[in-house]
Amino acid sequence: AQKITQTQPGMFVQEKEAVTLDCTYDTSDPSYGLFWYKQPSSGEMIFLIYQGSYDQQNATEGRYSLNFQKARKSANLVISASQLGDSAMYFCAMRGLVLGGSQGNLIFGKGTKLSVKP
Partner 1 sequence: DGGITQSPKYLFRKEGQNVTLSCEQNLNHDAMYWYRQDPGQGLRLIYYSQIVNDFQKGDIAEGYSVSREKKESFPLTVTSAQKNPTAFYLCASSIDTGIGTEAFFGQGTRLTVV
The residues that touch partner 1, with contacts defined as CB under 8 A, are: 4, 6, 9, 31-33, 35, 37, 42-45, 47, 50, 52-53, 91, 95-97, 100, 102-111
Min. distance of Cβ 20 from partner 1 in angstroms? Answer: 19
Q: Return the C-alpha torsion angle 24, 69, 13, 18, nearest 10.
A: -160
Residue number, 14 or 28, with CB nearest to partner 1: 28
User: Residues 6 or more apart from 10 whose CB is under 8 A from it?
Assistant: 112, 113, 114, 115
CB of 56 to partner 1, least distance (A): 15
In this structure, the dihedral spanned by the alpha carbons of residues 47, 77, 109 and 40, taken in order and rounded to 10 degrees, is -50
CB of 76 to partner 1, least distance (A): 17
The answer to whether the beta carbons of residues 46 and 37 sit under 8 Å apart is yes
Q: By C-beta, is 14 or 102 nearer to partner 1?
A: 102
